Amino acid sequence: METLNQIQLLAVLALPVVLAITVHEAAHGWVANRLGDHTALMLGRVTFNPLKHIDPIGTVLVPALSFLFAGILFGWAKPVPVNQRNLHHPRRDMALVAVAGPASNLAMALAWGLAIQGGLLLWATSQWVALPLIYMGAAGVLINVFLMVLNLLPLLPLDGGRVLNALLPPMAARYYSRLEPFGLLILIALLATGLLGGLLLPLVLGTLEWLPGAGIVKELFFV
């Protein structure tokens, strides 16, 4: 298959990116609601409506610019509000709420991988159906794996940081939580220096090996 140029890549990434971010944030809110905190539900954030989750700068402008100039998708959505005091078991449940986002990305990566397989099965008879399935499926696998790996980094305010904060002893967690205001600055610095891509790429490639359609994803995006 032909390698896509950057404009084509942005076109096939658009829907998978919107879904990846929307379902990720909705998953946080849904799990929080199940565990006792109804804040996100009352604010309309437990929804697949992307307009409720999209941040014009973090979800649209920054990812587009980082992809065009650095070759890496980097951005953020509006965080889902969670009131820890409303949770049944605050520290444990905060970890579960945090894990829900990356878990949803893994589920979507599997679903997009199956879409690739469906496209390959249709290739001989209906290429006009197969081609969009394959390209968009590959984009869906890649973006969801990337978001999962990125969000599992043990750095606040990322989900991995939330999980680590919940696992640390209370005193250590209090000190660790003081780093949260600097988390985004650290990520931007890692992105600007190229260290973020160098850190994430091996983890993304390693994760892809376990998913259907991995060969197609590598052929389209890593050749």
Active-site positions read 25
DSSP type of residue 84 = G
Report yes or no: 196 and 72 within 8 Å, Cβ to Cβ: yes
- Alpha helix locations (H) across 83-126? 90-122
Rounded CA separation 159/28 (Å): 10
Residue 108: CB partners within 8 Å, gap ≥ 6? 19, 20, 23, 140, 144
CA atoms within 13 A of residue 159's CA, in its CB half-sphere: 26
How far apart (Å, rounded) are the C-alpha atoms in residues 220 and 223? Answer: 7
The three-class DSSP label of residue 133 is: helix
The H or E element containing residue 174 is helix 170-177
* Amino acid at position 128, single letter: W
- In angstroms, the CA 124 to CA 39 distance is 50
